[in-house]
Structure 1
Amino acid sequence: MTLIRDEYLSERDKLRPVLHELPATPKTIHWGYFDAALAPALKVASGDIIRAEAVTQHAGDAPELMMDEGITAIFKGVPEADRNPGVHIMTGPIYVEGAKPGDVLEVRYLEMRPRLHYGSNVAAHWGHLYKEMGDKERVTIYRIDPASATAHAVFAYDFPGKYLVPGQITEARDCCRQPALRGIRVPVRPHLGTAGVAPDAKGRVSTVPPGSHGGNIDNWRIGAGATMFYPVQVDGALFSIGDPHISQGDGEISGTAIEASLDVTFQIFIRRDFSFPSPLLRTPDSFITHGFDEDLDQAMRNASLEMLRLLTEHRGLSRDDAYSLMSVAADFSVTQVVDGRQGVHARICHAVFPPE
């Protein structure tokens, strides 16, 4: 029985880690895809710490508020024709020395700090209620209040046409701005919507659908203090981060969260003491498994089977005992319904188990 505990780390991992800086520039990002053939933007060893910039592709929704010199350089430096087949700006990839297929990449997210004080939510054409909202795309710009760790809407506007070009820059003139959500404050919980290793596939793999490599999971719990376990699929893992958010609800119903650039600090380890076939999340109070499929029922089944696997293979329960525990103590929620491949996550609290 493997409990996925820190004492299984290698002696190399326990040495004093090296800190690496990874700024987001036109040369260190890839826009819209994972690719196993992509040259690394950074090489690290197991146990090293990386401080990296994650840039939102929605910065152009309010360029005067959400773009600085570095972000502008990315938008100008990457041609629209090279932003495909997905939409997210990914920083990396990071090559982890010694990582091999069959290993697990443990990523401890240590800090996520907003780069600027503004973010954007788009009620997009891929949102769940687009037809019910009159086939209209509406952009709402939020401001972060660091003192209260909340965000509030400062204005909204109707997007002209459809949001089809990743990173499109919109000049929202004063005449088009409308007040929005007066008196409402949203808790700020910075997290990464998209992160993962390179899939074992030829060519570009879209960042939009989540999968066994990670990708666009859109679980707001993947923030500071959380640890993700990604199954390595290619040599070096080739790990990338992107799609930064400052807040999101389960479901991501309109198609986006509050999209805002983040500075992210994380530590990477290679784990060979256990395996898990899909992205696994450990928070301070729980383990969370994920299931994905174009059909939400099948996504639910996949999340259930992964929780069953966690409880039997890593907690030592029989299948019958695990199934009973899942029904009385595990919480299942819809992660997102807007990424084509939909997501469900299952959560089990550490507190239900006896002390290790």
Structure 2
Amino acid sequence: MNAPLISQGSARTDRSEPTGLYILRAAPETVHWGYFDAGLTPVLKVKSGALIQAEAVTHHAGDDPDLMMDGGVREIFDKVPESDRNPGVHLMTGPIYVEDAKPGDMLEVRYLRMIPRFNYGSNLAANWGHLYKEFGEKERVTIYKIDPVSMQAHAHYAYDYPGKYEIPGKITKCPECDRQKALNGVRVPVRPHLGTAGVAPDEPGRVSTIPPGAHGGNIDNWRIGAGSTMFYPVAVDGGLFSIGDPHISQGDGEISGTAIEASLDVLFQIVLRKDFEFPSPLLETPGYWIVHGFDEDLDNAMRFASLDMVKFLNEQRGLSNDDAYSLMSVSADFTVTQVVDGRQGVHVRIPRTIFPPDSK
């Protein structure tokens, strides 16, 4: 059995010291739009333990450019041509090369702080949403405003999107649109997180950012926010880690097709781990360990999440497979992460508090 990944008394057994703070701004030369690619030239090279302050820009900033764009964001939208935004849709900052990271290693990414760049975000009821046909194949944008004091958001206004939302980064004519009131008096909690982040898959050419997978990608789990830690399995030298698709709030399922999409400034630390391996993105929060499963079939996604949780409990908690199976049935919670990314997601979480304190 491997040494326990995480101790009960503290967030991590590994206490790597920061090797310096790096600033990574989102700009036309530091972003890639719609894809991961193992052949991309890194925009930043760091050692294990590096602290990185990076800008994550939403590809939905054009839903109201007056409220969700500044000069830096507009430059990206102006200079990255629509023909280069494919095959996915998400605007990614990176990639970051981690020295000595090799296939089979893990990148431990400690998300420390996520701050909205603007006090506005956009939700789209999209053509890829789960109930698109039931809603008459209409697409609708709702602009939300953040109250930074209460950390709640409310609907600022809404409008029907004319036609079909197909071009990533489309800039709409919102000042000229027919604005509607929406969700009068309703407040939703602001919980900033990254919808898409991960390493480059070991595949030739561009890999779409839309489906999640072993590399991470578009997981859309709102728990991937400040105070959480993600473990990504490295597939290529250096890992080539990127972040994007920032959100300020989302429910499990993401049923309309999007969250509240809003740009974030993200502080995180990357630690190279060579002392364990795991086949899929693994999430640690203050209260839970969370394992993800993905497949076009939701039943298969749940099965894959189950099998990987058995592996986690076996290798990291020392349980037999039989004991892990029993414990999952009486203590683990399975939840649909999202149903709108082509490859659907299920995550299973198990409380850290049910285990005895580690002796180490």
Question: What is the rounded CA distance, in whole Å, between the counterparts of 1:8 and 1:21 in structure 2?
Answer: 24
Question: What is the rounded CA distance, in whole Å, between the counterparts of 2:351 and 2:315 in structure 1?
Answer: 17
Q: Give the alignment of 1:14-163 within 5 angstroms.
A: 14=17, 16-163=18-165
Specify every segment of 5 or more residues in structure 1 that has no aligned partner in the other structure, as ranges.
none
Q: Which residue of 1 aligns with 2:351?
A: 349
Q: Which residue of 2 aligns with 1:340?
A: 342
Question: What is the rounded CA distance, in whole Å, between the counterparts of 2:111 and 2:355 in structure 1?
Answer: 24
Q: Residue 275 of structure 1 aligns to which amino acid in structure 2?
A: E
Q: Residue 97 of structure 1 aligns to which amino acid in structure 2?
A: E
Q: Residue 317 of structure 1 aligns to which amino acid in structure 2?
A: L
Q: Which residue of 1 aligns with 2:9?
A: none
Secondary structure of 2:317's aligned partner: coil
Q: Which residue of 2 aligns with 1:249?
A: 251
Specify every segment of 5 or more residues in structure 2 that has no aligned partner in the other structure, as ranges.
7-11
Offset, 1:7: 3.5
Question: What is the rounded CA distance, in whole Å, between the counterparts of 2:85 and 2:211 in structure 1?
Answer: 16
Question: What is the rounded CA distance, in whole Å, between the counterparts of 2:315 and 2:126 in structure 1?
Answer: 41
Question: What is the rounded CA distance, in whole Å, between the counterparts of 1:157 and 1:193 in structure 2?
Answer: 24
Secondary structure of 1:274's aligned partner: coil
Secondary structure of 1:325's aligned partner: helix
Secondary structure of 1:133's aligned partner: coil
Question: What is the rounded CA distance, in whole Å, between the counterparts of 1:210 and 1:172 in structure 2?
Answer: 31
Q: Which residue of 2 aligns with 1:291?
A: 293
1:7 and 2:13 aligned = yes
**1:328 corresponds to which of 288, 305, 330:** 330
**2:270 corresponds to which of 265, 268, 271:** 268
| Contact preservation (8 Å) 1:56, 1:244 | yes
**2:169 corresponds to which of 167, 170, 178:** 167
Offset, 1:175: 5.2
Offset, 1:8: 4.3
Question: What is the rounded CA distance, in whole Å, between the counterparts of 1:61 and 1:260 in structure 2?
Answer: 11
Change (3 A) 1:118 1:8: closer
Offset, 1:314: 1.0
Secondary structure of 2:174's aligned partner: coil
Question: What is the rounded CA distance, in whole Å, between the counterparts of 1:244 and 1:189 in structure 2?
Answer: 11
Offset, 1:82: 0.1
Q: Residue 168 of structure 1 aligns to which amino acid in structure 2?
A: K
**2:321 corresponds to which of 316, 319, 331:** 319
Q: Deviations over 1:15-70 (max 9, x none)?
A: x4200000000000000000000000101100000000000000000011001100
Question: What is the rounded CA distance, in whole Å, between the counterparts of 1:241 and 1:263 in structure 2?
Answer: 11
Secondary structure of 1:303's aligned partner: helix
Q: Residue 3 of structure 1 aligns to which amino acid in structure 2?
A: P
Aligned-residue CA RMSD (Å): 0.9
1:197 and 2:199 aligned = yes
| Contact preservation (8 Å) 2:106, 2:231 | yes
Offset, 1:352: 0.6
Offset, 1:172: 1.5
Q: Deviations over 1:182-218 (max 9, x none)?
A: 0000000000000000000000000000000000000
The aligned length equals 352
Offset, 1:295: 0.3
Q: TM-score, normalised by structure 2?
A: 0.97
Runs of 4+ in 1 over 6 A off after TM superposition: none
Offset, 1:244: 0.1
